[in-house]
Structure 1
């Protein structure tokens, strides 16, 4: 059962359009598309709530932090999904001006990582004493009511870029996806993206003593339908139809 829920959540996550009129609008699939489906599906009426949260952060050796948090929430009777963004950038509070951080290594290759369908995670480091984390959490629950909407941050309707002396963070909703890209001056870069048929977490570290995190959480709430005699009979009829002829 957990495997089916995992497949359901992944399919929902990578297919949510950023500016869709409604994520619950059903679409007819061709026979060719149906032949490629794997796992379990749910009808739109069973989805009470769907959302995801992405957090990307980069802390360098001098305590400077670059980062952003993006959330998407979709519930029944909503005209379109709600996207919100907040910045995590900060400077050390000791009053000492940070110095320049130097690149200690180089990384080559990896261009194909952006073309992977489905879920892709990568961490490549050329420096020393770095800590990096890519993590995806899937939460599938049953309930007849949706959770309260998250109001953290500001509405995300266009690209947002925030910078400090350590580098820059850009959040971009485009091409049926949303991404958080961090450029750390002299230390590397990280990209986290969801949508357009993929979930990507990619980190490149060129310096030393950095702490980099890409965290994503997908939340699905399904309506809790209790089994009835009619639904059980319908299931049995479907199973009978799968029996070989003559048995």
Structure 2
């Protein structure tokens, strides 16, 4: 073996720690992590960002109350706005379901759920044959251009509250300085649900006091990133680096 190679091996060995702690992980402080937010996102790489919030309540009679709120931001967006589509369905298949009786369940506590940070998902049930579903989806895709979108529904302006009501309950969706919130108060003391996106946090809360209810709170974050197609200049630079390896015998 050549002397130069031996010398390189000796120097590498001398540089290693003697206590077997190579590449020991170091915990970063919250302040340091906060300073890194968004720093490594390449300019122009994200071409579309969207939020879809859906909240629905179906009672034992098959009636459904709810809403879907959508926000889409891309390069052609002039003013980001939430658009709301109401969900108001009457019972189908009359006679196949029995009329729901008043809810008699009781839940206690939970006073601090409205002041949590980050992502909070809660289901509290005091009844039978109920189904509750809270979920958050994050979808990242790649494309050459932003998808064509056509806003649907009614614009939810800042400070505005939209309402809807049927046999399943009453829904209200509002946009304030604290964010966007969907609230459902089910009829006949069946319970309530809330979904809020505000100040960097997401809360999904369902409380069921009766029987035979189906509650869904779903939030989807959709990101489209531009395809990183290599240019001719970058390819030539890579080839030049490969050519340089030939002088070392590779």
CA distance in 2, matches of 1:118, 1:37: 18
Alignment-derived partner of residue 5 in structure 1: none
Asked which structure has the greater CA Rg, the reply is 2
Alignment-derived partner of residue 36 in structure 1: 34
- The C-alpha deviation readout for 1:205-225, integer Å capped at 9, x for no partner, is 111110011111110011222
Aligned-pair Cα RMSD in Å: 2.7
- 1:93-108 correspondence runs (5 A): 93=92, 101-108=101-108
So what's the TM-score if we normalise by structure 1? 0.73
Kindly tell me the number of residue pairs found equivalent between the two proteins: 201
Partner SS state of residue 44, structure 2: helix
Alignment-derived partner of residue 27 in structure 2: none
Tell whether 2:65 aligns with 1:66: yes
CA distance in 2, matches of 1:164, 1:92: 10
Pairwise CA distance, 1:77: 3.4
Contact persistence 1:104–1:208 (CA under 8 A): no
Tell whether 2:191 aligns with 1:192: no
Partner SS state of residue 112, structure 2: helix
Contact persistence 1:102–1:207 (CA under 8 A): yes
> Any stretches of 5+ residues in structure 2 without a counterpart?
1-29, 238-250
CA distance in 2, matches of 1:122, 1:94: 32
Pairwise CA distance, 1:93: 4.5
So what's the TM-score if we normalise by structure 2? 0.72
Pairwise CA distance, 1:33: 5.8
> Any stretches of 5+ residues in structure 1 without a counterpart?
1-31, 234-247
**Farther off after superposition, 53-62 or 100-109:** 100-109
Partner SS state of residue 89, structure 1: strand
- 1:93-242 correspondence runs (5 A): 93=92, 101-157=101-157, 158-185=160-187, 186-227=189-230
Return closer, same or farther for 1:59/1:35 CA change in 2, 3 Å cut-off.
closer
Contact persistence 1:47–1:76 (CA under 8 A): no
Return closer, same or farther for 1:34/1:225 CA change in 2, 3 Å cut-off.
farther
**Farther off after superposition, 151-160 or 116-125:** 151-160
